[in-house]
């Protein structure tokens, strides 16, 4: 049985946020062939495992998905994923922020295969000590979309925000990326701002700021 990779909107959401693209892009930017890179990535993990994914799903078995934190020893896995998923070369600050965010940055594994990630940055709001979360990137390798991996990664961050009384989560999305916009709207995100010429060497260059606000819980005395 073939895996239907178009089962829902999440299947189509590959690039949902590009962090600080103006700083991250090289002067002579090379747009990567995403599909060939993904294919190469899968071959690196092992063709037999890739085929096993489809056979196990065809047999109706439960998909094993787990999340793991990003540390110095596995940071290269996040870098390889970003290379396969996004037409942007991220600078050192991106990875420093991802490591500093702790549990807010996660790798997603199908069995022992790293297939997706969410990377966040913790920021202090202006005029106060409150913290907000910026989603720098969220992506899943193409053959593994439609399994709820992106949803699980995003829900992990939203659950952390709830537990830590963080009321604001936001990200940037290219204005023509309707699949990503619709994906985030399902989780309560709203378009709160439009920024002209935010991106360099990407058409259109404009982006939306998508924000999700939550009401902070109060502790009864």
Question: What is the domain partition of the chain in residue ranges?
Answer: 9-213
Q: Determine the pLDDT at residue 126.
A: 81
Contact, 25 vs 201, CB < 8 A? yes
Q: Determine the pLDDT at residue 218.
A: 57
Cα–Cα distance for residue pair 194/120, rounded to 1 Å: 21
Topology of the domain comprising 9-213: Aminopeptidase (3.40.630)
Give the model confidence (pLDDT) of 17-74 as tens digits.
Answer: 544 444 443 333 333 333 344 344 444 444 334 434 443 444 455 668 999 999 999 9
Going from the C-alpha of 124 to that of each of 95, 167, 209, the distances in angstroms are 18, 12, 17
Residue 163 has pLDDT above 50, yes or no: yes
Q: What is the mean pLDDT of residues 118-129?
A: 89
Residue 213 has pLDDT above 80, yes or no: yes
Lowest mean pLDDT among 83-92, 133-142, 164-173, 188-197: 83-92
Supply the pTM of this predicted model.
0.73
Cα–Cα distance for residue pair 214/160, rounded to 1 Å: 12
Catalytic center residues: 134, 172
Q: Determine the pLDDT at residue 30.
A: 32
Q: Of 140, 155, 145, which Cα lies nearest the Cα of 86? A: 140
């Amino acid at each position: 049985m073939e895996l239907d990779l178009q089962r829902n909107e999440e299947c189509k959401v590959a690039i949902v946020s590009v962090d600080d693209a103006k700083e991250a892009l090289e002067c002579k930017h090379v747009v990567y062939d995403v599909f060939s890179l993904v294919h190469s990535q899968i071959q690196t993990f092992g063709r037999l495992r890739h085929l096993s994914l489809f056979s196990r799903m065809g047999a109706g078995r439960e998909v094993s998905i787990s999340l793991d934190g990003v540390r110095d020893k596995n940071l290269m896995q996040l870098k390889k994923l970003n290379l396969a998923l996004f037409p942007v070369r991220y600078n050192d600050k991106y990875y420093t922020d991802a490591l500093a965010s702790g549990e807010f940055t996660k790798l997603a594994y199908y069995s022992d295969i790293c297939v997706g990630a969410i990377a966040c940055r913790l920021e202090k709001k202006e005029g106060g000590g409150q913290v907000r979360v910026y989603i720098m990137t969220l992506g899943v390798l193409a053959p593994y979309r439609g399994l709820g991996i992106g949803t699980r990664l995003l829900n992990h961050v939203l659950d952390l925000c709830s537990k830590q009384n963080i009321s604001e989560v936001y990200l940037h999305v290219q204005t023509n990326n309707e699949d990503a916009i619709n994906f985030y709207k399902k989780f309560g995100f709203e378009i709160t701002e439009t920024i002209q010429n935010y991106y360099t060497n990407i058409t259109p260059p404009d982006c939306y700021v998508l924000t999700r606000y939550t009401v902070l819980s109060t502790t009864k005395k």
